[in-house]
Amino acid sequence: MSSLLVPDCYQYIIGLSRTNCECYTIPADASESLSGLYLDELESLAVINSIKDCENGNDVWNQMEVARQIAITTFQGDTNALMMKNFKLRRNNFFGVIGRAVAKNVMTQTIGQWYGMRIYCANVKSGVMHIKNIGAMFSQTDTVLLHIYNNLGEEVVPPFFLQTLANKHQKNTVDIELPLHSAYIENLEYYLIYEVTANQALNNDLKCNCGGFKPEFNTNKPYIYHHQNDRNYMWSQWVMAGGFHANTLPTFGTGTMPYATSNQLFGLTLEVELKCKINEVLCYESLDFESNNLAVAMAMAIQHKAASIVGSWIINSGNLSRFTMINTEQLLADIAKWDKIYIDMITFISEQADITINDCLACRDVWEMAKRGILA
């Protein structure tokens, strides 16, 4: 089967086929369908069963899997676009850097103590912080072992080494996605922490003492709720950041953080993307086909989009042109019908979406919607 990534929420939303045949090996998960719908059971696509022969069977299964994946991705993009016509983002997405790669000298740190960065998150359901690079500013060309914990007492990723370049800012590419919401605590926090060795940190900080934005790390009055106009610091709508240190490795998740947090970042910077996963308005963690009245509609939309993709592939594939039993005119008519059903379904779904399921979207005001209508 294809190795393309399918979001967990849409995994097996429709099946490929429940056909049985001894001639070829059917993929073990081909018949898995949470909705009870199958790609090859729309009219005209019964022809798939006649071309899944011993010679071409595996290729057709792969194409069906790819079509399902493309349909899911297309569905997500199309419904996001339709929802954004009626709603707006509560917070603007941010892509950029937290922390300055500027330092005047090496800090005096005690070997064996622990230093790091503290991140306090706005409680945004479906919000994520995607860390793409971690900058390291240290005195030696060496490595630093970094740990990441949260305030639930969990080490969220295995410890890993940061490469350091003596007295320079060394970027380390990573791919770490951290949620901004947990049902178990009001505000998630993350701690990027390392044990001090002879490789001492440079004294970089969060921000200069210039401009209108003066970040003060205060959980009793978090600046994440204050409006910020400077695009370089729009991360402050999502998180508060600062540095802290402890004599021994803290036991996270046991109560209030007892260590003072300052604007010193102790040699660390973060390149992040902060965003909200809009499509989780429709599918958050899993789909309930018994109580969610949109779940079956979503499955039908994806089924018809995937069928349209497979139908077009059949018509345009030279390898399959010898199968004269295919009624090309009828298949073209069915593709047009499937495309219309898909459009009708995603329009209905986007209009009926309950935006209170997560914290991504808010209603547009009447004036703004009227203005968009005039300019459309």
**Residue 273: inside a domain:** no
Q: Average model confidence (pLDDT) for the chain?
A: 87
How many CB atoms sit inside 10 A of residue 281's CB?
24
Last residue of a domain, one of 266, 284, 308: 266
Q: Token pair 């740190």 is at which residue?
A: 109
**Are residues 32 and 77 located together in one domain of the fold?**
yes
Q: What percent of the chain has pLDDT over 90?
A: 64
pLDDT given for residue 197 in this prediction:
97
**Are residues 150 and 175 located together in one domain of the fold?**
yes
Host domain of residue 64: 8-87+295-375
pLDDT given for residue 56 in this prediction:
52
Higher model confidence: residue 320 or residue 70?
A: 70
Q: Phi and psi dihedrals of 167, rounded to 5?
A: 60, 25
Question: Is the confidence at residue 232, as pLDDT, over 50?
Answer: yes
Q: Token pair 């991140």 is at which residue?
A: 119
The tally of domains found in the chain comes to 2
Provide the whole-model pTM.
Answer: 0.84
**Are residues 20 and 69 located together in one domain of the fold?**
yes
Q: What percent of the chain has pLDDT over 70?
A: 88
**Are residues 197 and 346 located together in one domain of the fold?**
no
pLDDT given for residue 326 in this prediction:
55
pLDDT given for residue 230 in this prediction:
82
Q: Mean pLDDT over residues 260-273, rounded? A: 95
Given a contact cutoff of 8 angstroms between Cβ atoms, the answer to whether 266 and 241 are in contact is no
- Could you give the CA distance from residue 27 to residue 66 in angstroms, rounded to a whole number? 14
Q: Please report how many Cα atoms fall inside a 13 Å half-sphere around the Cα of residue 316, on the Cβ side.
A: 7
